[in-house]
Amino acid sequence: MTRVRALIVGLTALALGLGGCATPHLMGHAPEAAKITSTRRELIDLPPPPTPVTVAVYGFADQTGQFKPTDSIQTLSRALSQGSPSILVQALRDAGGGHWFDVLEREHLEDLLKERQVITEMRQRYLGEKSVNPDALPSLMFAGVLLEGGVVGYDSDTLTGGAGARLLGIGGSTQYRQDTITVYLRAVAVKTGEILSSVVVRKTVASVGVQGGAFRYISYKTLLEAEAGVTTNEPEEFALEQAIGKAVHDLVLEGARHGVWFFADRKAAAETIDRYAAETSAAQGELALAGPDSHRPLKRN
């Protein structure tokens, strides 16, 4: 009987401990700045170019068309965040510590043009200007490169499984599930329409659940039942941010490999390019190095 009581006390303490540990993290959590992940750190640490590349992003849509899965009623919530363009713009601003790209506002270009029209009308009415004063309202900048693509895949349950064991009514189990996000990103020359560089990145999204419990009679009319468990879900938005950041990182290096743009210090950047080439070769096998023209720079006008 002493062993049974010890078992009850232990399981109760475990359940209360899990609940007590979780409560402070769920309640009253103050807002905080986004942490710099290893993927974002690699993007920030890219060697800078001689001059920034002026780019524009008109859209970077969720092209999966998938809705959030549910076991009960139908939901119209999307499986992925619809803020991909904002995430891409932030990644471009992070590249090379902000030295790689000058990003132009194009997602809400109509709003920008309306506001400029308001400025023009106000100056005409109150200052009597007959034409636009270029000193007060200069022309908008134009981009040399368009960045296009999107989130093209969200595959659910690409890997599922679990394990468990129970002895005399006491045991535990672990279950896991893995989804996959696929992102395409390409750089397009505005003057010629030529695709300068294109990359694809895949990122897994993991969910893991651990549960333990006991179910047994401790006396003729007394039944012990206790359960405790923890589930961890990787946020889809966090995974999407990492996938887009990795896509921007690889786009820079892929363009540098093919002579689309260059680093200011090519010798210092050689190690970074070689590491990326080795990573690409390992991911794609010998296909990346099969052709004799795979590293020939593209012709530029």
Strands 61-62 and 145-167: parallel
Distances (CA, A) of 112 to 107, 122, 140: 10, 16, 10
**pLDDT category, 295, cuts 50, 70, 90?**
very low
Q: 50 versus 2: which is more confidently predicted?
A: 50
pLDDT in the model for residue 248? 94
Closest CA to 249 of 61, 44, 52: 44
Distances (CA, A) of 167 to 171, 173, 222: 6, 12, 19
Contact 88, 57 (CB under 8 A): yes
| Distances in whole angstroms, Cα of residue 36 to Cα of each of 132, 185, 269 | 44, 22, 22
DSSP 71: S
pLDDT confidence tier of residue 274, bands split at 50, 70 and 90: confident
CA 121/CA 115 separation, integer angstroms: 10
Does residue 7 have a pLDDT over 80? no
What's the average model confidence in pLDDT over 66-88?
Answer: 65
User: Can you give the pLDDT at residue 181?
Assistant: 84
Please check whether residue 288 is in contact with residue 281, taking contact to mean a CB–CB distance below 8 angstroms.
yes
pLDDT at 210: 76
Q: What confidence category does residue 289 fall into, taking pLDDT thresholds of 50, 70 and 90?
A: very low
Contact between 179 and 154 under an 8 Å Cβ cutoff? The reply is yes
Query: What is the pLDDT of the chain when averaged over all its residues?
Result: 77
Sign of CA dihedral 80, 81, 84, 88: negative
Given this model, what pLDDT does residue 285 score? 61
The Cα 93–Cα 100 span in angstroms is 8
Q: How much of the chain, in percent, has pLDDT values that exceed 90?
A: 23
Q: Does the pLDDT at position 195 exceed 70?
A: yes
Buried (b) or exposed (e) across 99-116, using 16+ Cβ within 10 A?
Answer: ebbbbbebbeeeeeeeee
Least confident of 21-25, 141-145, 193-197, 262-266: 21-25
pLDDT band (50, 70, 90) for residue 15: low
Say whether pLDDT at 20 is over 70. Answer: no
Supply 253's token pair. 């290096």
196 close to 159: Cβ distance less than 8 angstroms: no
Question: Residue 296 — very low, low, confident or very high, per pLDDT cuts 50/70/90?
Answer: very low
The tally of CA atoms less than 13 A away on the side-chain side of residue 30 is: 2
**pLDDT beyond 80 at 226:** no
Element (H, E) at 103: strand 101-105
Confidence label for 191 from pLDDT (cuts 50, 70 and 90): very high
How many Å apart are CA 265 and CA 122, to the nearest integer? 48
Structure confidence at residue 167 (pLDDT): 66
* Domain spans of the chain, in order of start: 2-25+37-106+143-162+169-283
Sign, Cα dihedral of 125, 131, 132, 135: negative
- Name the pTM for this structure: 0.72
Q: Is the pLDDT of residue 102 over 90?
A: yes
The answer to whether 189 and 197 are in contact (CB under 8 A) is: no
Segment 129-167, tens digit of pLDDT: 888 788 888 888 999 999 998 888 777 777 777 777 776
pLDDT at 4 over 90: no
Q: Which CATH class is domain 2-25+37-106+143-162+169-283?
A: alpha beta
